Amino acid sequence: MKLMDLMKIPSCTVIYPVDYKKAGFIVDDEMHRIMVKSLPAGCRLTAIFDSCHSGTALDLPYIYHSNGRLKGSHITPRALAEKATNADVISFSGCRDDQNSADTTQGGMAVGAMSYAFVTSLTRKPVQSYQELLKSIRDILKQNYQQKPQLSSSHPIDTSLRFIL
Protein backbone atom coordinates (compact mmCIF):
# COMPACT_ATOMS: atom_id res chain seq x y z
CA MET A 1 0.00 0.00 0.00
CA LYS A 2 1.30 3.45 -0.87
CA LEU A 3 1.27 6.54 1.37
CA MET A 4 -1.48 8.30 -0.60
CA ASP A 5 -3.76 5.26 -0.19
CA LEU A 6 -2.92 5.10 3.51
CA MET A 7 -3.98 8.71 4.04
CA LYS A 8 -7.50 7.81 2.88
CA ILE A 9 -7.96 5.26 5.68
CA PRO A 10 -9.60 6.95 8.70
CA SER A 11 -7.88 4.95 11.45
CA CYS A 12 -5.32 2.26 10.95
CA THR A 13 -2.07 0.82 12.19
CA VAL A 14 0.72 0.08 9.75
CA ILE A 15 3.90 -1.95 9.86
CA TYR A 16 6.92 -0.75 7.89
CA PRO A 17 8.69 -3.88 6.61
CA VAL A 18 12.35 -3.67 5.65
CA ASP A 19 11.37 -3.34 1.97
CA TYR A 20 8.54 -0.83 2.56
CA LYS A 21 9.97 1.67 0.04
CA LYS A 22 9.57 -0.92 -2.68
CA ALA A 23 6.68 -3.08 -1.45
CA GLY A 24 4.72 -0.57 0.64
CA PHE A 25 3.25 -0.73 4.14
CA ILE A 26 1.32 -3.53 5.77
CA VAL A 27 -2.00 -2.23 7.08
CA ASP A 28 -3.75 -3.63 10.17
CA ASP A 29 -6.71 -4.79 8.05
CA GLU A 30 -4.31 -6.90 6.02
CA MET A 31 -2.67 -8.31 9.17
CA HIS A 32 -6.13 -9.19 10.48
CA ARG A 33 -7.09 -10.88 7.22
CA ILE A 34 -3.88 -12.94 7.02
CA MET A 35 -3.09 -13.62 10.68
CA VAL A 36 -6.54 -13.76 12.32
CA LYS A 37 -9.41 -14.26 9.89
CA SER A 38 -7.77 -17.21 8.14
CA LEU A 39 -7.29 -19.23 11.34
CA PRO A 40 -9.49 -22.31 11.78
CA ALA A 41 -11.75 -22.89 14.76
CA GLY A 42 -9.82 -24.11 17.79
CA CYS A 43 -6.54 -22.55 16.68
CA ARG A 44 -4.75 -20.25 19.13
CA LEU A 45 -2.59 -17.27 18.21
CA THR A 46 -0.77 -15.20 20.81
CA ALA A 47 0.72 -12.12 19.15
CA ILE A 48 3.12 -9.65 20.73
CA PHE A 49 3.63 -6.26 19.09
CA ASP A 50 6.27 -3.98 20.54
CA SER A 51 5.89 -1.09 18.16
CA CYS A 52 4.54 2.44 18.20
CA HIS A 53 0.77 2.95 17.85
CA SER A 54 0.24 -0.82 18.16
CA GLY A 55 -2.72 -0.93 20.56
CA THR A 56 -5.10 -2.35 17.97
CA ALA A 57 -2.55 -3.74 15.51
CA LEU A 58 -4.60 -6.87 14.76
CA ASP A 59 -7.98 -5.09 14.91
CA LEU A 60 -9.18 -7.36 17.69
CA PRO A 61 -12.50 -6.13 19.08
CA TYR A 62 -12.03 -6.61 22.83
CA ILE A 63 -9.57 -4.60 24.94
CA TYR A 64 -8.97 -5.04 28.68
CA HIS A 65 -8.20 -2.85 31.69
CA SER A 66 -5.29 -3.95 33.88
CA ASN A 67 -7.86 -5.00 36.50
CA GLY A 68 -9.12 -7.60 34.02
CA ARG A 69 -12.36 -5.88 33.12
CA LEU A 70 -13.37 -5.54 29.51
CA LYS A 71 -13.05 -1.97 28.26
CA GLY A 72 -15.64 -2.85 25.66
CA SER A 73 -15.58 -3.37 21.97
CA HIS A 74 -13.70 -0.65 20.13
CA ILE A 75 -15.50 -1.33 16.87
CA THR A 76 -19.10 -1.07 15.67
CA PRO A 77 -21.44 -4.09 15.62
CA ARG A 78 -21.11 -4.23 11.81
CA ALA A 79 -17.31 -4.17 12.01
CA LEU A 80 -17.46 -6.70 14.86
CA ALA A 81 -19.22 -9.12 12.51
CA GLU A 82 -16.49 -8.54 9.91
CA LYS A 83 -13.71 -9.09 12.49
CA ALA A 84 -15.30 -12.17 14.05
CA THR A 85 -13.26 -15.38 14.08
CA ASN A 86 -13.68 -18.84 15.57
CA ALA A 87 -10.00 -18.89 16.50
CA ASP A 88 -8.65 -17.93 19.93
CA VAL A 89 -6.55 -14.83 19.29
CA ILE A 90 -4.84 -12.82 22.04
CA SER A 91 -2.59 -9.82 21.49
CA PHE A 92 -0.27 -7.93 23.79
CA SER A 93 0.81 -4.62 22.30
CA GLY A 94 3.50 -2.23 23.45
CA CYS A 95 1.23 0.78 23.84
CA ARG A 96 -2.09 2.40 23.01
CA ASP A 97 -2.75 3.49 19.43
CA ASP A 98 -1.97 7.11 20.37
CA GLN A 99 1.39 6.32 22.01
CA ASN A 100 4.96 5.48 21.09
CA SER A 101 6.60 2.26 22.23
CA ALA A 102 10.05 2.95 23.69
CA ASP A 103 13.34 1.22 23.04
CA THR A 104 15.84 0.46 25.76
CA THR A 105 19.23 -1.16 26.24
CA GLN A 106 19.45 -4.19 28.51
CA GLY A 107 22.59 -6.26 28.95
CA GLY A 108 24.27 -4.24 26.21
CA MET A 109 21.56 -5.11 23.67
CA ALA A 110 18.92 -2.84 22.15
CA VAL A 111 15.41 -4.17 22.87
CA GLY A 112 11.87 -2.89 22.96
CA ALA A 113 10.89 -1.73 26.43
CA MET A 114 7.66 -3.75 26.40
CA SER A 115 9.45 -6.87 25.17
CA TYR A 116 11.93 -6.49 28.01
CA ALA A 117 9.10 -6.02 30.55
CA PHE A 118 7.21 -9.02 29.13
CA VAL A 119 10.22 -11.34 29.46
CA THR A 120 11.16 -9.90 32.85
CA SER A 121 7.65 -10.45 34.20
CA LEU A 122 7.50 -14.07 33.03
CA THR A 123 11.03 -14.75 34.28
CA ARG A 124 10.18 -13.45 37.74
CA LYS A 125 6.85 -15.28 37.87
CA PRO A 126 6.37 -17.93 35.15
CA VAL A 127 2.82 -18.82 36.21
CA GLN A 128 0.39 -15.89 36.16
CA SER A 129 -2.96 -14.90 34.72
CA TYR A 130 -3.49 -12.63 31.72
CA GLN A 131 -4.56 -9.89 34.14
CA GLU A 132 -1.49 -10.35 36.36
CA LEU A 133 0.81 -10.35 33.34
CA LEU A 134 -0.67 -7.15 31.90
CA LYS A 135 -0.46 -5.41 35.28
CA SER A 136 3.09 -6.64 35.87
CA ILE A 137 4.27 -5.44 32.44
CA ARG A 138 2.67 -2.05 33.04
CA ASP A 139 4.21 -1.82 36.53
CA ILE A 140 7.70 -2.58 35.18
CA LEU A 141 7.34 0.01 32.42
CA LYS A 142 5.78 2.82 34.45
CA GLN A 143 9.05 3.24 36.37
CA ASN A 144 10.67 4.78 33.26
CA TYR A 145 8.14 5.04 30.43
CA GLN A 146 4.76 6.60 29.61
CA GLN A 147 3.49 3.80 27.35
CA LYS A 148 0.60 1.58 28.46
CA PRO A 149 0.70 -1.92 26.96
CA GLN A 150 -2.65 -3.28 25.81
CA LEU A 151 -4.28 -6.70 25.99
CA SER A 152 -6.88 -7.48 23.34
CA SER A 153 -8.70 -10.56 22.10
CA SER A 154 -10.90 -11.91 19.34
CA HIS A 155 -13.69 -12.72 21.82
CA PRO A 156 -14.30 -11.95 25.51
CA ILE A 157 -11.86 -13.84 27.74
CA ASP A 158 -11.60 -14.54 31.44
CA THR A 159 -8.40 -12.64 32.25
CA SER A 160 -8.07 -14.48 35.56
CA LEU A 161 -7.15 -17.63 33.61
CA ARG A 162 -3.51 -18.67 33.41
CA PHE A 163 -1.55 -17.04 30.59
CA ILE A 164 -0.38 -19.69 28.13
CA LEU A 165 2.09 -18.78 25.41
Over residues 45-69, the mean pLDDT reads 87
pTM of the model: 0.84
- Tell me, what's the pLDDT at 6? 46
Instruction: Give the Cβ contact number of residue 88 at 10 Å.
Output: 16
φ and ψ at residue 35, rounded to 5 degrees: -95, -20
- Give the pLDDT band of residue 72 (cuts 50, 70, 90): low
Residue 95, C-beta contacts closer than 8 angstroms, at least 6 positions apart: 52, 53, 54, 55, 101, 114, 147, 148, 149, 150
Most confident of 13-17, 88-92, 100-104: 88-92
Cβ–Cβ < 8 Å for 145, 153: no
- Give the pLDDT band of residue 148 (cuts 50, 70, 90): very high
- Tell me, what's the pLDDT at 45? 94
Over residues 77-90, the mean pLDDT reads 84
